[in-house]
Structure 1
Amino acid sequence: MTVDSNSDLEQQIAEWRAYMRRRRELHQTDAEELEDHLRDRITELTSAGLHPDEAFLIAVKRMGSLDELSREFAREHSERLWKQLVLTGDDAATASTGKRRDLLIMIAFAAAAALAIKAPALFGVDMTDDDSGFYLRNMGLFALAPLAAYFAWRRGLKPGLIAVLAGLFALGAVAVNAYPMGMDTQTIVLSTIHLPIALWLVVGVAYTGGEWRSDRRRMDFIRFTGEWLIYFVLIALGGGVLTAFTVNIFSAIGIDAETFVGTWLVPCGAMAAIVVAAWLVEAKQSVIENMAPVLTRVFTPLFTVTLLVLLGAIAWTTNGIDVQRDVLIIFDLLLVVVLGLVLYSISARDPAAPPGVFDKLQLALVVAALLIDVLVLAAITGRITEFGFTANKTAALGENLVLLANLAWSAWLLLGFVRGRLPFGRMEHWQTRYLAVYAAWAWVVLLVFPPLFRFA
């Protein structure tokens, strides 16, 4: 099978998948299972000598009616929520029982996450007197280990894969705790920032059920990341209101609740919210998916205008970019947000839709971000040439090179799509496969940078 045949086949499957996702009676996981069956049939037919296009058409025809498949899947998966839409009576009651069980399991994992953040206090490590920075260094572990465990249970991971994931978490724990890094060093700051990034992608392996090599499952994790962030922010905003009311209400009757809020309510609530937000994404997918196109269409034009104005101001004033650490962090965050908008729009877009005005706007956003990244890299390179390498400047250089490669190829793929020369699926495949680059860089900074720069 040629590369072009593979590309055309993936484009056809993407169109079929987009149609499937518009069927409200099918849950996302069920659509994925149907797609797996479709791919198996296509593989059998192509192995028998059929052309991929012929194999696709025959496989789809043999899959039968979507409504019939919905009922068949409902009978075989009696605990699925969407079963209530195609079956009634005792079957619906069984599905409701499954929902209650999932809720109780989620509560158990959220409670474990809340208690885990307080466990070090039993060994004399107090959160209010943390001179060694123990909580700061290990926050990524406290936050993401329960979430990975939750998905390991939910996806029914095999013991071997669970052992690998646990080993990666242990490796991260050793890196941030065994290295002799002081609180005033650059390497401790870099490790603290990159540990959550590295472990979040480990969570991604658990989320995909071990199918990390699948482009489709990686895109599902990208979609989950954006949706999880929305829910977590909403929970955090609600928690902030609750905290404010708690402090002021108890203050009105002469009780100081700030200590309780600072040492129990906020840290325990934040850790529990990470698991709760993940559960909400899983339970309310059909609701949150409608927010994706709205958010991208609102913020993409705003960020495009902001970046174009910034480039215009740089050209008009001829002022270079200040490469102080705080400024670099702001610019890197800006570029990360741009990539987040690109990823989120890809996850929400119908791959079969033709290029439109929004795609051209997104191309302008990526090109503007690419130009800003080039300016940042020029400033970093000049700084390194003048003062030499440090952990911060080297990390900034590497991260901007990683972003540069992604932005440059994304711009090329978007240009090809807008001009009608490349399928949109190529963009989706590029972004999902590039996650491995982010993971590799995060682990390099976490494991290699501290000894490389002598823990300074």
Structure 2
Amino acid sequence: MIADSDNDLEGQIAQWRAYTQRRRELHHTDAEELEDHLRSRITELTGAGLHADEAFLIAVKRMGSLDELSREFAREHSERLWKQLVLPGEPDTSAAARSRRELLVMVLCAAAAALAIKVPGWFGLDISGDDSTFYARNFSLFALPALAAYFAWQRRVGLRVIGVLALLFILGAVAANAYPLADDSQSIVLTGIHLPLALWLVVGVAYVGGEWRSDRRRMDFIRFTGEWLIYFVLIGLGGGVLTAFTLNAFKAIDLDAEGFVQSWLLPCGAMAAVIVSAWLVEAKQSVIENMAPVLTRVFTPLFAAALLAFLVAVIWTNSGIDVERDVLILFDLLLVIVLGLLLYAISARDLAARPGLFDRLQLTLVVSALIIDVMVLVAITGRITEWGFSPNKTAALGENVILLTNLAWSAWLFLGFVRGRMPFARLERWQTRYMIVYAVWAWTVVLAFPLVFDFA
């Protein structure tokens, strides 16, 4: 009986620990300190004659510094005694005040992002005219600094982290605008693609509160990225409906609203949506955490089936991949989507769960993507051998080598996990630590490629 009681207590503490580790405002060392505090209180109470489960519940209640955390834990476990023990009748005024402050700061940051994209117009740059290349190079600089500022405020980061963030955004602005690139330069396209990735990872530094060395916090950022993308797409779809309604409503009274839509509604709305989506992820996590894993489980088998069908068709027709640039870009995009599915599935998975059918489907998806990546690399190498190096082909080669390395080691780790020879946590650590490779490559393309290829 004593052993059973101890096992139940450890299960309750493990459940409490897992909940605290999902809280972004708690550092890893803070969670460990809180657990030590909880255990010491439980020991005192059991020594006074209480049962282990009673001591656990009362210990959490008595940890005054954790009242708010305990209340939220109670709401998720209301089938137990939590409501009676840790849900007082008075409203949580401090949480409500904090929510109002976060809403106000979000609105200010969204307004700053929306205003930022209009500032170049004050200096004669037309977003829909000949200056479109300027906006293509700089569009990530309009919203992402405001998003980083929102997280820096929310996480209460120190001045040193704020200084690093500011320097990186300044570096991105200089790289996007200082080089003398022609409008038809390949480097402009590469900057427009890679600078948002580089700066998004800078936002990640603000999101984790400067704790970039923490694997857990980096995985939190990966999870946030997937959830943010879902909200951003949903807002975009709603914005499309709003745009169509606006155009047709004004058309019905013989007024042309197309200029307003192109110059104000679409650009300002897109920039503001970047901030609003992030705020929604933070404010509505319980909703999106149910939605995103479901989407991952739906699309993983679909993409796995599509890739397998493609490989079968390649073998059946005995034909390789077309080496045309647009086709190679399509396959690169496909590989990025596969990697995104893998990353978000990892971030949403219970590390302690045993391997199941979905894990085997993911392994199939990764192996299929790995084979296709090898085929794409062969095609790119053929283009380089025939036509020589260029910014586009070199960037495509580097990105496929990076993806190949990630997918190959991920497949090996997945295979070991499915066969029961290694823990799933190794795969998670591999993905979180590999993020630095993407950051280094993105900054290399933005900063070095224009110089290496003579601004071509």
TM-score range, shorter chain: 0.7 to 0.9
Q: Do the aligned partners of residues 99 and 362 (structure 1) sit closer, same or farther apart at CA in structure 2, a change above 3 Å counting?
A: same
| Map of 2:281 onto structure 1 | 281
Deviates more, 1:82-91 or 1:348-357: 82-91
**Which of 61, 64, 72 is the equivalent residue of 1:82?**
72
C-alpha RMSD over aligned residues: 2.6
Q: Deviations over 1:389-408 (max 9, x none)?
A: 11111100000000000000
Letter in 1 for 2:111: A
Tell whether the 8 Å contact from 1:79 to 1:98 is kept in structure 2 after alignment: no
1:29 aligns with 2:29: no
| Map of 2:355 onto structure 1 | 355
Tell whether the 8 Å contact from 2:152 to 2:209 is kept in structure 1 after alignment: yes
1:112 aligns with 2:112: yes
| Map of 1:143 onto structure 2 | 143
- Structure 1 residue 369 displacement after superposition: 0.3
- Structure 1 residue 81 displacement after superposition: 8.8
Letter in 2 for 1:226: G
Q: What secondary structure, in the 3-state scheme, does the structure 1 residue paired with 2:256 have?
A: coil
| Map of 2:83 onto structure 1 | none
Number of aligned residue pairs: give it: 424
Structure 2 gaps, min length 5: 1-10, 43-54, 76-85
| Map of 2:258 onto structure 1 | 258
Tell whether the 8 Å contact from 1:110 to 1:275 is kept in structure 2 after alignment: yes
- Structure 1 residue 382 displacement after superposition: 1.4
Q: Do the aligned partners of residues 404 and 113 (structure 1) sit closer, same or farther apart at CA in structure 2, a change above 3 Å counting?
A: same
- Structure 1 residue 299 displacement after superposition: 0.6
- Structure 1 residue 150 displacement after superposition: 0.8
Q: What secondary structure, in the 3-state scheme, does the structure 1 residue paired with 2:374 have?
A: helix
Q: Deviations over 1:369-401 (max 9, x none)?
A: 000000000111111112111111110000000
Q: Deviations over 1:139-163 (max 9, x none)?
A: 0111211111111111111111111
Taking the aligned partners of 2:339 and 2:17, their CA distance within structure 1 comes to 24
Q: Do the aligned partners of residues 34 and 143 (structure 1) sit closer, same or farther apart at CA in structure 2, a change above 3 Å counting?
A: closer
Tell whether the 8 Å contact from 1:161 to 1:210 is kept in structure 2 after alignment: yes
Letter in 2 for 1:124: G
**Which of 3, 15, 20 is the equivalent residue of 1:19?**
15
Q: What secondary structure, in the 3-state scheme, does the structure 2 residue paired with 1:133 have?
A: helix
Taking the aligned partners of 1:132 and 1:105, their CA distance within structure 2 comes to 30
Which protein is bigger by CA-based radius of gyration?
2
Structure 1 gaps, min length 5: 1-14, 43-57
Greater relative CO (CA pairs within 8 A, separation 6+) = 1
- Structure 1 residue 296 displacement after superposition: 1.5
Identity of aligned residues (%): 63
Letter in 1 for 2:255: I
| Map of 1:414 onto structure 2 | 414
Q: Do the aligned partners of residues 236 and 305 (structure 1) sit closer, same or farther apart at CA in structure 2, a change above 3 Å counting?
A: same
Taking the aligned partners of 1:324 and 1:18, their CA distance within structure 2 comes to 54
Tell whether the 8 Å contact from 2:114 to 2:143 is kept in structure 1 after alignment: no
Taking the aligned partners of 1:18 and 1:390, their CA distance within structure 2 comes to 54
- Structure 1 residue 120 displacement after superposition: 1.3
| Map of 2:3 onto structure 1 | none
| Map of 1:267 onto structure 2 | 267
Taking the aligned partners of 1:80 and 1:97, their CA distance within structure 2 comes to 18
Q: Do the aligned partners of residues 250 and 227 (structure 1) sit closer, same or farther apart at CA in structure 2, a change above 3 Å counting?
A: same
Letter in 1 for 2:181: M
| Map of 1:53 onto structure 2 | none
Taking the aligned partners of 2:450 and 2:407, their CA distance within structure 1 comes to 28
Taking the aligned partners of 1:104 and 1:73, their CA distance within structure 2 comes to 31
Tell whether the 8 Å contact from 1:176 to 1:191 is kept in structure 2 after alignment: yes
Tell whether the 8 Å contact from 1:227 to 1:281 is kept in structure 2 after alignment: yes
Deviates more, 1:98-107 or 1:66-75: 66-75
- Structure 1 residue 18 displacement after superposition: 7.9
1:374 aligns with 2:374: yes
| Map of 1:321 onto structure 2 | 321
Letter in 2 for 1:370: L
Tell whether the 8 Å contact from 1:80 to 1:95 is kept in structure 2 after alignment: no
Deviates more, 1:59-68 or 1:437-446: 59-68
| Map of 1:46 onto structure 2 | none
Taking the aligned partners of 1:432 and 1:390, their CA distance within structure 2 comes to 31
Taking the aligned partners of 1:134 and 1:319, their CA distance within structure 2 comes to 41
| Map of 2:48 onto structure 1 | none
TM-score (norm 2): 0.87
